[in-house]
Amino acid sequence: MPRLHSIVVALLLGVLSPGTANAGSPKAIQEQGQAMVRDAEDMVAHGGMGDGKAIVHHCAEVAKQAQAILKVLPPADEHGKEAAPHLEDAIKYCKRVAEMGDKVDPGASLNPAVKARAAVREAMKHLAAMKDGGA
């Protein structure tokens, strides 16, 4: 009986955890992209309030999500190909924010954060256009 329990748990975890076969589906990519957009918006909103730690935190999340999306983009999908450079730009700008850290004036880190948000928004336009089958 305990073996059956561990098999069921393993199956559930395999089905529900990120990184499964569905992770590269357009719907999963779009959901990840929407989460990335929320973090980008929060990042800039907190930056406007002068919260440097929040800028760094949300930018790290944006970079992590952009990297995850890049890993699962279908190579044959035109919209995915068009989104990739924007995702890479978001990662680049967030890396700059991370290098500045949370001890600098939030106004200084807000500039690359705003650029990262613009890249995320542009990437999301292309990700939103993805359809099943890469059409």
Domain residue spans in the chain?
A: 24-134
Average pLDDT over residues 7-20: 39
What pTM was computed for the model? 0.79
Superfamily grouping for domain 24-134: IL-4 antagonist (De novo design) like domain (1.20.120.660)
Query: Residue 125's pLDDT is what?
Result: 96
Query: Residue 132's pLDDT is what?
Result: 67
Residues 80/135, Cβ–Cβ less than 8 Å: no
Average pLDDT over residues 78-102: 95
The pLDDT tens digits of the residues spanning 40-68 come to 999 999 888 888 899 999 999 999 999 99
The tokens of 5 are what? 């329990």
Is pLDDT of 94 > 90? yes
- Higher local confidence (pLDDT), 76 or 120: 120
